[in-house]
């Protein structure tokens, strides 16, 4: 029997995950979709055999053919959907961010602990990207020595109209926060945000780009250039500088052409293109683990830690000073 999944939120990511579950991955089918926009939910459901459309997440989660939940609504709606999923003791794949701030992430972590078992995989899909996986594997061998610094670049073509200066941190740099914690195996202890004069290509009032410096409890530094209106493409790069060498990913050199006196290649235009394989592998890994009765991948603890670092980052952006990150002690469930 394939796993019956309810997808909550059928916007850009949600609709793409519905397509992925329906056509790309094995062992699951979409049995329900939910959106506050009833017409959008109906339109997406119409394309999938046996899929019902809802406007209330609770109604979908109560349906007999729903075994698991994929949350792809906006971040502020995640907490309510997660708590409802816990009431039904359903496994969840929750798009990043787990929740928009540390207090709400803590409430989710406490509710999961009250269940007594892990139920959540957080959608930090870079952990499934082939290049990131290679970098992590190389660092783990110890051949390069201890990582000293990580340099990250994260560029989007253009930000959506609702994007605020703090979202550059909480929505975008959230990925580098998780990637840094995962690649280095360190917790982040402090955040500084430097703010160059905004690009004239950014919407009025948006602090874009920003330069973020993360300090870790292992004594490493991770810096992030976040530039969400770079205009030319979607680029995510990372370079680890270690005691005996460096390793770098994201140059996009898979195909290089030479023609008419020039050489070059193409730049991806958005995340659905750059991370297509990562999303497919992420959702397949979640379905496979769920069918085995296991929970793998980024945990609620990882979602909470990222939320706490991003919250400190937003304060650092506003105040212009280095801001320490205060994490609660890691609960036994996540050790």
Residues that bind ligand NAD (CB under 6 A): 8-14, 34-37, 40, 57, 72-75, 77, 95-96, 123, 125, 171, 271, 275
First to last CA, the chain: 32
- 271 is a contact residue toward ligand ISE (CB under 6 A): yes
Angle separating helix axes 12-19 and 276-291, nearest 10 degrees: 60
Q: Looking at 172, 180, 284, 290, which residue binds ligand ISE (CB under 6 A)?
A: 172
How far apart are CB 307 and ligand ISE at their closest, in Å? 14
56, two tokens: 């209330």
Choose the contact partner of 228 out of ligand ISE, ligand NAD, none; CB within 5 to 8 A by kind. ligand ISE
- Note whether 109 and 304 are within 8 A (CB): yes
165: contact with ligand ISE by CB under 6 A: no
- The smaller minimum CB distance to ligand NAD, of residues 20 and 96, is found at 96
* 210 is an interface residue for ligand ISE by CB under 6 A: no
Closer to ligand NAD by Cβ: residue 283 or 295: 283
Given the rule CB under 6 A, which of 104-112, 127-135, 169-177, 289-297 is the region that contacts ligand ISE?
169-177
Alpha helix stretches (DSSP H) within the chain: 12-19, 38-46, 57-62, 78-87, 102-115, 130-141, 167, 174-184, 271-274, 276-291, 300-319
The option from ligand NAD, ligand ISE, none interacting with 139 (CB < 5 to 8 A, set by class) reads none
Query: DSSP of 14-66, one letter per residue?
Result: HHHHHHIIIIISSSEEEEEEE-SSHHHHHHHHHTSTT-EEES-HHHHHHSTT-
Sites of contact with ligand ISE (CB under 6 A) = 156, 171-172, 175, 228, 271
């Amino acid at each position: 029997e394939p796993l019956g999944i309810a997808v909550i939120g059928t916007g850009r990511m949600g609709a793409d995950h519905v397509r992925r579950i329906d056509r790309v991955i094995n062992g699951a089918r979409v049995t329900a979709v939910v959106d506050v926009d009833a017409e959008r939910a109906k339109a997406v459901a119409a394309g999938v055999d046996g899929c019902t459309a809802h406007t209330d997440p609770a109604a979908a989660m109560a349906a007999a053919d729903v075994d698991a939940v994929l949350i792809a609504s906006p971040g502020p709606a995640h907490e309510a959907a997660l708590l409802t999923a816990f009431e039904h003791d359903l496994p969840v794949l929750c798009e990043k961010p787990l929740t928009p701030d540390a207090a709400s992430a803590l409430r989710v972590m406490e509710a999961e602990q009250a269940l007594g078992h892990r139920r959540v995989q957080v959608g930090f899909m870079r952990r499934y990207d082939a290049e990131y996986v290679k970098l992590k594997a190389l660092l783990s061998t110890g051949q390069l020595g201890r990582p000293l610094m990580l340099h990250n670049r994260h560029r989007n073509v253009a930000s959506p109209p609702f994007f605020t200066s703090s979202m550059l941190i909480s929505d975008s740099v959230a990925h580098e926060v998780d990637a840094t914690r995962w690649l280095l195996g360190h917790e982040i202890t402090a955040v500084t945000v430097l703010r160059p004069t905004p690009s004239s290509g950014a919407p009025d009032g948006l602090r874009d780009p920003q330069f973020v410096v993360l300090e870790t409890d292992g004594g490493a530094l991770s810096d992030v250039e976040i530039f969400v209106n770079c205009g030319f493409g979607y680029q995510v790069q990372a370079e680890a500088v270690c005691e005996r060498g460096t390793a770098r990913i994201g140059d996009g050199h898979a195909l290089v052409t030479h023609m008419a006196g020039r050489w070059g290649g193409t730049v991806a235009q958005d995340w659905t293109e750059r991370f297509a394989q990562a999303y497919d592998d992420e959702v397949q890994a979640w379905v496979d683990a769920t069918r085995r009765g296991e929970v793998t991948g980024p945990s609620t603890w990882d979602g909470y830690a990222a939320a706490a670092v991003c919250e400190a980052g937003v304060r650092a952006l506003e105040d212009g000073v280095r801001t320490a990150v205060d994490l609660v002690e890691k609960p036994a469930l996540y050790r």
